[in-house]
A and B are shown apart, each in its own frame.
Chain A
Amino acid sequence: MDTICAVASAAGGGRRAVIRLSGPAAATIVAAACPGVELSARGLACVEFHDGVGTQPVLLLWMPAPRSYTGEDVAELHLLGSPPLVRAALGRLVALGARPARGGEFTRRAFENGRLDLTRAEGVAELIAARSREERRAATALLSGGLGGRVARLRDALVDLRALTEASLDFDEGATGEIPTGALAARARELMAAIEEARAWEARRVPASGLARVTLVGAPNAGKSSLFNALTGGGGGLPALVSPQGGTTRDVKSATWLAGGAEVELFDTAGEEPARGEAESLAQERRRRQVEGADLVLGVVDAVCPRRVAGADLLAWNKLDLPGAAPPPEGPPPVVGTSARTGLGLEELGAAVARALATRSSGLSRSLGARHLAALEAAGSRLETALAGLEAGETLDLFAEGLREVTDALDGISGLTTPEDLLDRIFAHFCLGK
């Protein structure tokens, strides 16, 4: 069993940071980093931590197995919350043989070593059941959006290629006919191009920021861009162009917005209406794609002349400050009265967005998206290595092994992940006990 380490305190610059180290080598590692330290019994001590650059004063909490959070030997290092110091300390632990923990790995070990009580174990079971249902739903939704077809075609081509390769390994050429290496390589190259295409497609959909995506939609001139500017302060760059004339917004513009304490990425889109020119039809296409990839669709309605907004998860009843504005109706979807000009209801809108995001599985869809990207990247790079090997004259059994690894990577997308990965992910996303 490896010894693992990670920062256990909240990210960012707190006044103090906590690094947790767990595993059979914890004592040796701590002893090497803190010369002269006494680690016989459970307890707290002030020690000097040699991080390879200098020394840091550290408060060391030592909890020998089995009476610790994970059930293994655990050391907690409380140090000054300065990022460079924390990085140096972590680096030193890794240099001494610890491995950076994967998300949720401490909890995972606690579970496996019987350190979570029965109630918590049952909590884990419920989480798995719920999460599995939710994941199935989110995955289905995502996969129906274009990636699914792509992945299905990729898998198909991959299975074909594997079948050819395996047949060549498991049968005499008298039975299969000759399968030239060049034919396998050609197919592998086609497959690689298809993986890259799917990756690029998914990359367009998944935000690099990793933030939840909130997209503004509504009729032209409902005030989407004004609201966008009011919420984001114009997005740091130039504020979105606003004019009383509808249809000013042609490009999709985005900026971060602190919605009820949660950072989200807010997208402004062109108004919804039949396109009149080529530029507009492009704008409509971009809008459609933006809505497809959104975690939350925020409809904007002009309170003075309300028009229906289809597919919104939440409505901003805008321009409430104008005379003749109709009062916000009852949901669903939930409705918040706002005025982009006076700032009325904007805070409430942020809170409503945060609530909606928290109750929906959109966070999950985002993490799934990131996972898809990682899976496609892994599949592509494994295939590239396998192909290079084949072309350099490596034997077919190694090429076949490479293809098996490509399959494993792709299986991560269709939800065919191993139970091990799933448990890892569950523990990574949910803080189970402390």
Chain B
Amino acid sequence: MAGVSASSHPHPPPASGPQRDADVLVIGGGHAGIEAAAAAARLGARVVLVSFELDRIGEMSCNPAIGGLGKGQLVREIDALGGLMGVAADRTGIQFRMLGTGKGAAARAPRCQSDRHRYRETVTALLAAQEGVELVAGEALGLVLEEGAGGTAVAGVRLAGGRVLRAPATILTTGTFLRAVMHTGEQQARGGRIGERSSEGLAGDVARLELALGRLKTGTPPRLERGSIDYARLEEQAGDSCPRPFSYTTERRGFPRLPQVPCHLTWTNPTTHAIIRENVHLSPMYAGRIQGVGPRYCPSVEDKIVRFADRERHQVFLEPEGLESEVVYAGGVSTSLPARVQEAFVHTIEGLERARFLRHGYAVEYDFVQPSQLAPTLAVRAVPGLFLAGQINGTSGYEEAAGQGLIAGANAALWVLDREPFLLGRHEAFLGVMVDDLIVTNPSEPYRMFTSRAEYRLLLRSDNADRRLVGRGAALGLVPKERAEAVARKEETIAAVIATLDSIRPEPSRSLRDILRRPEVGLAQLEERYPALAAHGLDEELREAVEIEVKYAGYIERQAENVRRLERQERTEIPPELDYGGLVGLASEARERLERLRPRTLGAASRIAGVRPPDVALLAVHVERLRRQRARSE
């Protein structure tokens, strides 16, 4: 396809430069950086990943857990595209639970507690074993900026010590390093690199690119010492007795590898709340020292007590950080109150009366790049050679970061190799929903995945991520061909079982498939009674797939029909240079938003709040008119 359009990369492929140290540079070794480097390398790009400290690659900077509602689906999708997160989680999980089991297939999502230390080691080893990835310890001090035909382009990074690494594509996965400030009570400290002022170095170079930024905040709870907690008085929460892995490649034999441990529950009480209320003016949020917007779904304990004053107690979820670790993460009581207040209120909680603090809670305030400036490849539209993934785009969560890393890494490689980009639609994957949400509506709070964000939730389940994505991954080269063949075999088995269900008619008017549709009937029951079904030798995973296929059939068909109906709109691209000012009849609110957000397709335009159907219809006709004018003049 000639020219630059929405379904291609936003910039023409890079010229084969005089000298390059890599095809793709990844700055940052967090969850986004890891998947970015690995995905680019799987596609055949030569990758250099630069991290400040190599032994902190894959660090879990917040709670020691992977997956959960909405997030477990992301991990399964990353895995279906050959990513590392699911495999590493399976190898290092110390408690596995399937969440949302009673609420239906679309809600179900795997979660695990990870051994923080082992997770880091395992994922670093997996990355180091990936052919084409070189790990470089170093501090990125700045970007190599070059003026070119497409404006200022990024051509590499400068490291501390003077080394310069040149590559046509650079992916920044640097988390919260932009103007980060850490708050504990009245104390503030610059986050990011010690001794580096926010206007200098990498952050300064990003500022020179004149990207629009926003400000967010996030908080962490205290870390307590295991030996100081009175577990005898706490409620225990064990993992599933029959745990299931994240990765489709994990062998069920010998899983889980590590001994499994419980988590523990306790609750705040009126005394706790009284202490917090008395001291809330010392919290930087309430003292007005934090302007960034925090996530509503993960409020600080101060927030919970102020905003939900009528609740008598809030849950505290004590998560072990590892098998041998003395560190316990106190989930649910994120706080940036002064250290002594934190200690005072924690000591009012049952079981934590004598808890020793290994680390106090704190809040981090940071800038993020407004992601509406990104193409769906996660390339910065205005800056050739620069890709962004992870928290820098306003998201929160390891899984969200890893997913973006995979998309950015794959597309950076595809761009450098002059291949078509890899884009996922909203109906294909939560990854597609996330990227679309980010670029269509700038997040106003740290963006976290929820299943309710996906209008095609019933199609995007954690159980079928392999059936949705492995084939595409294999076609691209992200996933070995054998995995695609395995998925094809799975499809065949499912079809064969359904044929058997159709062929058996216990009553003249009803087949086994009809009977299986009833909510109270399970496939296992039918297998016991009908040998022809049992002969398929189904395992748990296939049984579940068949049940969902049958029980959700009507709904799935309706959603699929909606996807087909809106397909044309999703495919119709809006020329990037379109002049909205010259479009007569557009409501002024719609014009303002369209000008600012510049959606790529009619589908994206229709999802912008304030853009009404008539506006989209007008836009549709205008785009069609432009297309014809261009066709005529060519």
- Chain A interface residues (CB < 8 Å from chain B): 111-112, 114, 118, 121-122, 124-126, 128-133, 135-136, 166, 168-172, 174-175, 389, 392-398, 400-401, 404-405, 415-423, 426
Known A397-B104, A397-B105; judge A128-B618 contact (CB<8 A).
yes
Q: Which of B322-330, B349-357, B452-460, B473-481 contacts A (4 or more CB under 8 A)?
A: B452-460
Distance in angstroms from B283 CB to nearest chain A CB is 21
Instruction: Let me know if A125 and B618 touch, CB within 8 A.
Output: yes
Among residues of B, the one whose C-beta sits closest to the C-beta of A169 is: B107
A118: chain B residues at CB < 8 Å are 625, 628-629
Interface secondary structure of B, over-half rule: helix
A416: chain B residues at CB < 8 Å are 612-613
Instruction: Let me know if B628 and A114 touch, CB within 8 A.
Output: yes
Known A397-B107, A420-B566; judge A169-B614 contact (CB<8 A).
no
B88: chain A residues at CB < 8 Å are none
B506: chain A residues at CB < 8 Å are none
Among residues of B, the one whose C-beta sits closest to the C-beta of A170 is: B450
Known A128-B618, A401-B457; judge A421-B625 contact (CB<8 A).
no
Instruction: Let me know if A125 and B625 touch, CB within 8 A.
Output: yes
Interface secondary structure of A, over-half rule: helix
B442: CB under 8 A from chain A? Answer: no
B107: chain A residues at CB < 8 Å are 169-170, 395-397
**Could you say which interface size class chain B belongs to?**
35 or more
Instruction: Let me know if A175 and B315 touch, CB within 8 A.
Output: yes
B589: CB under 8 A from chain A? Answer: no
B540: CB under 8 A from chain A? Answer: no
CA distance A128 to B623 in the complex (A): 14
B519: CB under 8 A from chain A? Answer: yes
Among residues of A, the one whose C-beta sits closest to the C-beta of B458 is: A401
Instruction: Let me know if B585 and A132 touch, CB within 8 A.
Output: yes
CA distance A400 to B315 in the complex (A): 26
Among residues of A, the one whose C-beta sits closest to the C-beta of B621 is: A125
Distance in angstroms from A143 CB to nearest chain B CB is 15
Indicate the member of B620, B621, B622 with the most A CB atoms within 10 Å: B621
Instruction: Let me know if A395 and B617 touch, CB within 8 A.
Output: no
A166: chain B residues at CB < 8 Å are 450, 452
Q: Which of B95-103, B165-173, B387-395 contacts A (4 or more CB under 8 A)?
A: B95-103
Contact of A422 among B104, B617, B622, B624 (CB under 8 A): B617
Interface residues of B in 440-469 (CB under 8 A from A): 450-452, 455, 457-458
CA distance A421 to B616 in the complex (A): 11
Contact of A132 among B614, B622, B624 (CB under 8 A): B614
B620: chain A residues at CB < 8 Å are 419, 423
Distance in angstroms from A109 CB to nearest chain B CB is 11
Distance in angstroms from B111 CB to nearest chain A CB is 9
Interface bits B602-634 vs A (CB < 8 Å: 1, else 0): 100010000011111110111011001100000
Known A170-B69, A404-B455, A419-B620; judge A397-B106 contact (CB<8 A).
yes
Instruction: Let me know if B315 and A174 touch, CB within 8 A.
Output: yes
Instruction: Let me know if B584 and A129 touch, CB within 8 A.
Output: yes
A392: chain B residues at CB < 8 Å are 519
Instruction: Let me know if B450 and A422 touch, CB within 8 A.
Output: no
CA distance A95 to B558 in the complex (A): 22
Known A174-B315, A175-B315, A395-B105; judge A125-B622 contact (CB<8 A).
yes
10 A-B residue pairs with Cβ-Cβ distance under 8 Å, sorted by A, are A122-B621, A170-B451, A170-B452, A397-B457, A397-B458, A398-B458, A401-B559, A415-B612, A419-B606, A419-B613
A136: chain B residues at CB < 8 Å are 614
B565: CB under 8 A from chain A? Answer: yes
CA distance A135 to B614 in the complex (A): 10
Among residues of A, the one whose C-beta sits closest to the C-beta of B554 is: A398
B100: chain A residues at CB < 8 Å are 169
Distance in angstroms from A234 CB to nearest chain B CB is 44
CA distance A132 to B520 in the complex (A): 49
CA distance A421 to B606 in the complex (A): 13
Distance in angstroms from B631 CB to nearest chain A CB is 9
B286: CB under 8 A from chain A? Answer: no
A135: chain B residues at CB < 8 Å are 614
Instruction: Let me know if B451 and A128 touch, CB within 8 A.
Output: no
Instruction: Let me know if A128 and B555 touch, CB within 8 A.
Output: no
Instruction: Let me know if B104 and A122 touch, CB within 8 A.
Output: no
CA distance A124 to B624 in the complex (A): 11
Among residues of A, the one whose C-beta sits closest to the C-beta of B297 is: A171
B103: chain A residues at CB < 8 Å are 168-169, 395-397
Among residues of B, the one whose C-beta sits closest to the C-beta of A135 is: B614
A172: chain B residues at CB < 8 Å are 69, 99
CA distance A135 to B618 in the complex (A): 14
Q: Which 7 A-B pairs have the closest CB atoms?
A: A395-B104, A129-B585, A132-B614, A397-B104, A419-B616, A397-B106, A393-B519
Instruction: Let me know if A398 and B104 touch, CB within 8 A.
Output: yes
CA distance A118 to B106 in the complex (A): 46
